[in-house]
Chain A
Amino acid sequence: MAIQFALQDGKSLSQRPSIAAYVVDRAFFLAAGLGAFTIVALVAYILWEIGGQALPAVIKNGPQFLVNTHWNVQNQSFGILPQIWGTLYSSLLALLIGGFVGVTIAIILTQDFLPHQIAVVFRTLIEMLAAIPSVVFGLWGIFVVIPFIRPAADWLHDVAGFIPFFGTSLSGPGMAPAVIVLAIMILPTVAAISQDAISLVPYKVKEAAYGMGTTRWEAILKVIVPTASGGISSSLVLGFGRALGETMALAMLIGNANQISLSLFSPANTLASLLASNFPEAGQIERQALMYAALVLLAITLVVNVIGTLILAWTSRKIVKA
C-alpha cells in the first residue's frame, strides 16, 4: 500500500525550504567551512613563518644540523642531535611508565573493580592532574622527586653502575626525575582516552566472553583491551605528543646539558627546553638555528601523529575483519 503524502486539498506535505531556512543553512555551512579553513590556514601560516625564519639556518647548516652534537654560539655552529636524543628518550620512557599506569587505571576504573562513587572520585582526581601548571610540576620535581629518588639512584649506581642505564651518579636534575614527572603529566591524557575507549566496548562482547567461561582477567586482557586497542593506542600517541612538546617542567628538571647518554641519572636536554631557554638572549643567527630546531620538533610530532593514525587504522581494520 502506497503512503499518501498529498494533503486533502491537493497540496504536497513536502515543500521548498523557506528563504530564511535556506540562508541559515548556507550561513552555517559557510561558518563551519571558514572555521575549518582557519585552522588549516593557521597551521600553514605558522609553518610558513617558522620555515621562513629557519631558512637561512637550513641553507647554512643543512642536514649536518641533525647530527652535529654542539650548540656553539661562539662559533655560530649549531647541531641538535643531543636534543633530539633527549626528546625521544625522555618521551619514550615517560610513555612506557605513564602509558602502563594510565591504561591500568583505565581498566580498574571501568571494569567494576571499585564502587561507582569511588571510581568517580578517582576519575576526577586524575583529570585534576591535567589542570596543574607545568611550572608547579617542575618545582615539585626539584623539591620532592629528586630527593625522593636519590637514595634509590645512588644505590643503583653503586650496585649496577656497569649497566649503561645507571652509569653515572644522579646529581640532581637529570633524565630520571624528568621522565617521572613527564609520566605523571601524560597520565591524565592516557587514562581519560583509554577509559572512553574501554567503556565503548559493547556489553555484549564482555557477556559473550564470560559466557565462554573466561575468568575476569582473561576477559579483560584477551577480549576487552584488544577490542579497545584502537582507542588505547590513540591515547598513547596523544600522550607521546604531549611528552614531546612539554617545555617548562623539562626545562627545570632535565639539567640542560647537551650530551647523549644512556644513563638515566645524567643531565640531558630536549628540543622544547632548548627553545625555551635559548630564545630570550638569542642573536639573529642563533634565532634562525632555533627556528630550524622548532621545525625539526614539528616534523617529529607530525611523524609520531602519522604513525599513530596508521596504527589506529590498522588495528581497527583488524577488529572489523575479526
Chain B
Amino acid sequence: MRHSSNKLTARPLAGLIQALILIVATGHGTTAGAAGIELRGAGSTFSAPLYEKWIDAYQSIHPSVAIHYDAIGSGEGIARFDAETVDFGASDVSLSAAETAKIRRGAIQVPGTAGMIVLAYNLPGLAGPLKLPQDVYLDIFMGRVRTWDDPRIKTANPGLSLPHKNIAVVGRKESSGTTFAFTSHLAAVGKRWIEEGPGVGKIIDWPAGAMIARGNEGVASRIKISDGSIGYVEYGFARRLGLPVALLQNQAGKFVAPSQESGGAALATSAGQGLDNLAPALANPKDPEAYPIVTYSWLLLYKTYPSDHANAVKSFVEFGLDAGQPLAAELGYLALPPAVADLGKSALSQIK
C-alpha cells in the first residue's frame, strides 16, 4: 500500500523530467539540427524583415543549418563583424576599402537587397498624399521649416488644407545605415546639409527638437503615435504600420511615390557599375521616373570560414540572391537588378 503510493507520487516527477528532456532535445534539434551548423548574423534593421523571411525559407529546405539574425542597426552590425563575433554582418552602408583591409579574415560585400527610404508622416485628416520638394524636406530635417502650414509646403500642395501644427521630426538614435543613406541623399540635395547642418554619418546629432528613436521599427511606431510627425524609414516599415508616405520630388523635378517601378528605375541607374561603385551612384538618381532615396543593403562576409561554415554561408547567400529576391517585393523591398545579383553571386566564389 505504502509502496504503491510512493510510486504514484514519483511518477509525475519522472514524467516531468522526461518532458523536460524532450523539450530540451527537440528544442536543440530544431535550432542546430543533426549536422549542427549554426550561423550568426547581425546588423541592419532596414533589411531585417527580409533576412528573417529568407532564414525561414532557407531553413525549411536545409533543416541542418540554423541561422540567427540580430537586428541591432548597421553600426553595431559592422562592429560585431569587425570583432568577428558573427558569421556575417549586414549593413546599409558598404565598408570602405580601408575598413575591409583591417578585417583579418578578409571581407567581401554582397548587396543582399535594396530598398526605398520613405518620409512617413502622421497628419490626421489630410486629404490626399503630401508632396515634398527636395529643398523643402531638406529644410524640414534641418529644423528650418517648422510648421506644417509653412508657405513652401502650401505652395507644393495647393489642394490640401495643412494644419497649423509644429513639425515633429523623428530621427534615429543608434548608429544606422538608414541614417547614412538618408543623410548622404540630403547632402546630395543641398550643400547646406554639410556646411550648416549636421552632415553625413551613421549617427548624427539631429537639429534641435527632433525626437530620436531606436531602429526603423522604433521610428515608425514613434511616427504612428505622434500627430504632426515626420521621419525616415524603410518603405516596408511604413507600409506595415499603415503610415502615409510623402511623394518626393526627384532630381528631375517630378513628384514620385515609392513603388517597385520608381525604386527599380533608381536602381537601374546604378546597375552598370561594379560592386564598389554602387553606393555613390545612388545618392540622388537623375532618371525622371526614379524614386529619389534608394539604398542597397549589404551582406558582409568573411573570405575564410571554418571548414563547413563556408559552404553554409555561400549556400545561404546564394539562396537569398536567387530565390530570396521575389520575396523582397512582397515586403516592400526592391529586387536586385539581375546584373547586380550576378555580380554578388560571382563574388561568393572568393569565400573559402
Contacts and interface: CB of A to CB of B under 8 A. Distances in A.
A256 B212 contact: yes
B208 A73 contact: no
Contacts of A257: 208-212
Interface string B196-233: 00110101110011111110000000100111110000
Contacts of A281: 72-73, 75-76, 174-175
Contacts, number: 71
A211 to B, nearest CB: 58
A267 interface: yes
Interface in B37-77: 72-73, 75-76
Contacts of B175: 73, 281
A172 interface: yes
A74 B229 CA distance: 25
Interface stretch (B22-30, B133-141, B165-173, B280-288): B165-173
A150 interface: yes
Q: Is the interface of B mostly helix, strand, loop or mixed?
A: loop
Interface stretch (A28-36, A106-114, A163-171): A163-171
B209 A171 contact: no
B205 A172 contact: no
Contacts of A72: 204-205
Given A267-B211, A277-B214, A281-B73, A73 B166 contact: no
A171 B213 contact: no
A70 B206 CA distance: 9
Contacts of B225: 142, 146, 172-173
A126 B298 CA distance: 53
Interface residues of B, number: 30
A71 interface: yes
Interface string A164-207: 00001111110000000000000000000000000000000000
A258 B171 CA distance: 12
Nearest to A75: B205
Contacts of A171: 165-166, 168, 226-229
Interface-central residue, B75, B76, B226, by most chain A CB under 10 Å? B226
Contacts of A142: 225
Interface string A48-71: 000000000000000000000011
A91 interface: no
A293 to B, nearest CB: 15
Contacts of A168: 166
A172 to B, nearest CB: 3
A259 B173 contact: no
A256 B205 contact: no
Most buried by B among A158, A171, A259: A171
A124 interface: no
A225 B208 CA distance: 44
A74 B166 contact: no
A259 B168 contact: no
A255 interface: yes
Nearest to B210: A257
Contacts of B213: 256
Contacts of A38: none
Contact of B173 (A74, A170, A256, A266): A256
B173 A277 contact: yes
A172 B199 contact: no
B168 A267 contact: yes
Contacts of A146: 225
B205 A71 contact: yes
A281 B80 CA distance: 12
Given A71-B205, A169-B165, A172-B227, A278 B211 contact: no
Nearest to B174: A281
Nearest to B148: A169
Contacts of B214: 277
Given A70-B205, A72-B205, A172-B168, 6 more contacts: A71-B205, A169-B228, A170-B227, A171-B168, A280-B174, A281-B72
12 contacts: A70-B205, A72-B205, A74-B199, A74-B204, A74-B205, A75-B205, A171-B227, A255-B211, A257-B209, A261-B209, A266-B209, A280-B174
Interface of A: 70-75, 142, 146, 150, 158, 168-173, 255-259, 261, 266-267, 277-278, 280-281
Q: Which 5 A-B pairs have the closest CB atoms?
A: A172-B226, A171-B168, A72-B205, A171-B226, A169-B165
